[in-house]
A and B are shown apart, each in its own frame.
Chain A
């Protein structure tokens, strides 16, 4: 397969050219366009194999629906174009046996050599009450992340505090704690002082905008909803 990311950095679109038989797994609703030679299957992915539907439902109840779309170039080579829901960038990361911990809303898609595992390091987002959760990506092959705003890669060496809503992904070897800071210190952060405290060495990706903050700002200006 060949992956090309166009229209960076604000309205990025990933164009994936698949050889016959190749597959690509994406989050729901990501498809913009595809060749008719591609077929689509909706599946729930649990531990990298085929998750049972019950597991998918369980995740729904805990605040997150986890159905993925699997695109297969079943009738010949084809093109798949995907995009995230918010404005911002798409970044490709090629996994080479390492494990990354990725924020759920930052995962866009990956090739089948990459395994996806849900990890319930979850916490309620401040404004929406929806779950903020993390995924584990491991194995070999390309993975695509999206960022709300710009994406910024850092090499961590020591200790670092990041507002939770700005975390895109990080190397598994980095120690992390999600904690609530209080008092005046909390006013430095959005997300009600919910921060991730990282410790160690490795790569860390952050995004320049916080979806939860944006949602909270605009959402409260919209008319109320039922339920």
Chain B
């Protein structure tokens, strides 16, 4: 399998080249275009329970698509829903923690699992959760805006809406910025304080702020129903 990421950094798109029998797995809806000798199999990957866990925890789509070339020289293009960048991370029997909506594609030997956060809830609702990505091979994830990787050596505080991925060597603690008054007035939601050593990938824009900006522009529902 060969791949390249084009149109960086604003409108990044992934092109995967497959020879006969080779496969790539992708988030449903990520496919942009493909050649005609590619089979698509939609599955609840990792078994039904794992897929249900993904769906129940976050409204994430339960299905993934596996693209398999039935001849040499095939290619498939993928893109994420947002404007911004695409990052390739090569797993070597290792693990990466990935924000659920950032996942785009991966090699078939990479498994995706929901990592149950419980009270440590990383994101303040909105159906976001952490995916545990592990195995051998590349995983591709997207950012809204530019990607800013930081090498944490000590500690760093990051707004959770800007966190896309991080290495499991890091410890983290989720809290609100500066206490209750700050939470209400400051516009900041939850932050994660990372400590130890490892990389965190941040995105320079946050979808929730776009949503907040758009909210006043929605038409106001009239109290009397009209048909």
Contact = CB atoms under 8 A, between A and B. Distances in A.
A41 interface: yes
A81 B202 CA distance: 11
Contact of B205 (A11, A36, A41, A222): A11
Interface in B126-181: 145-146, 148, 150, 155-159, 162, 177-178, 181
Interface stretch (B33-41, B48-56, B100-108, B183-191): B183-191
B193 interface: yes
Given A34-B157, A226-B220, A29 B214 contact: no
Contacts of B146: 6-7, 10-11, 13
Contacts of B213: 85-86, 211, 215
B202 A31 contact: no
A13 B219 contact: no
Contacts of A215: 213-214, 216-217
A7 B148 contact: yes
Contact of B186 (A34, A42, A83, A86): A42
A89 to B, nearest CB: 12
A33 B202 contact: yes
Most chain B CB within a 10 A radius of its CB, from A12, A42, A220, A222: A42
A84 B188 CA distance: 13
Interface in A65-119: 67, 69, 81, 83, 85-87
Nearest to B212: A85
Contacts of A86: 209-210, 213
Nearest to B216: A128
B120 interface: no
Given A32-B206, A33-B150, A86-B210, 18 more contacts: A6-B148, A7-B9, A7-B148, A10-B145, A28-B185, A28-B188, A32-B202, A33-B202, A35-B156, A40-B182, A81-B148, A85-B209, A129-B216, A130-B216, A211-B213, A215-B216, A218-B214, A223-B218
25 contacts: A6-B148, A7-B148, A11-B9, A13-B145, A29-B187, A29-B209, A31-B188, A32-B148, A32-B204, A36-B193, A40-B182, A42-B185, A67-B186, A69-B187, A81-B148, A83-B162, A85-B205, A85-B210, A85-B213, A87-B145, A127-B217, A215-B214, A220-B219, A224-B218, A227-B220
